[in-house]
Amino acid sequence: MTTGIVYDDIYLEHRIGTHVESHFRLIEIMDFLKSNKIFENPNFKLIKPRLASLDQIKYVHEESLINEVREISDLAEKTARIQSLDMDTSVSSKTYEASLYSVGGNLQAIDEILSGNIQNGFALVRPPGHHSNSFRCAGFCIFNNIAIGAEYLFREKNVKKVAIIDWDCHHGNGTQDIFYHGSKSKEGQLIIFNSHQDGRTLYPGSGFIGETGSGKGEGKIINYPMPPNAADDAIIIYFDEIISPILSEFKPEFILISAGFDTHWTDELTNMGWTIQGPANYLKRIKKVAEEYANDRILITLEGGYQIDKQARAVYNCLRVLNNEEENLILEKSRSSEQALLDYLNKKLIPALKDKLSSYWNCF
């Protein structure tokens, strides 16, 4: 099997000064992968992105938002100064172009997977996307890469069932907003699993268990707000108790993952307790579901992660899992959640979540 890695230097051209979502995030990842000879391994294939079309961006974004990003990028070029879309989200002269390639990198990877050129893939792209909704960019994000990827699968690739799994420490509110009423495509069925630090303690302040979707999307938005300091064991509880039974019932044809690595216990923007092997161990379980129902078709796209050396190692670990090389993970000392936190998850949060979902899913 072959795992694809999407990358291009265009992603470094979204340069926004001393911002935490800087181009150094990708430089660190690529340097680490090169130093560990990933690109010399024939089981990994470098995928060059393409430009997404404006029609594809419009699958989930209003034309006014697209125009705003383009115009502010043009202003940044004319003034030779970084501009702002909001208090968190900055734009440079190359942001618009990089954003089209960020989306296009995901679309190219989908094509490569569906054509059989690669088995699965990891899109090392930026700017990230999961906080942006149909009409507003936010939270360091420009175009919503994962949402457009899902619509692309429905509208151009005849895929009927897609699961999105978002493990960024910040709730993927943009993706949730876009799909709260389901996909706009006629036959596409989408389910979203969001795990994140409790919105009462972290931006963007959303992602509670009562947010379950409506209309066509009713019961297909599933949020798992973890208390601060939740370690690797907290996400395994979510998978075993909620994700696995629902996916066994849903039977996705393709799995898309919004992968933020700001869950690491050292990340300065968050308060989670994961290790560098935490995302990979989670991915092992997701991969088993993909093997059973989706012909092992997984595409991961990069979202957040700001302790860049830890992020690089966590990405490396996920690539090894994608390529069935679980024995080659880089490990740090394991961490466990406090018993009181585990009791809250097992005795309160998970039962409450099952109760919310029981009218939508036979598995509860």
Q: Which residues are catalytic?
A: 131
Task: Give one word for 80, left, alpha or beta, with left for phi > 0 and alpha for psi -120 to 50.
Answer: left
Pinpoint the alpha helices (H) of 239-307.
244-250, 278-293
Q: Which of 185, 45, 60 is CA-nearest to residue 117?
A: 45
Give the separation between CA 77 and CA 80, rounded to whole angstroms.
Answer: 5
Q: Which residue has the tokens 């379980």?
A: 285
> Is residue 220 within 8 Å of residue 191, measured between CB atoms?
yes
Task: Measure the CA–CA gap between 354 and 318, rounded to whole angstroms.
Answer: 29
Helices (H) and strands (E) in the chain, counts: 12, 10
What does the alpha-carbon distance between residue 266 and residue 259 come to, in Å, rounded to a whole number?
17
Q: How far apart are CA 63 and CA 55, in angstroms?
A: 9
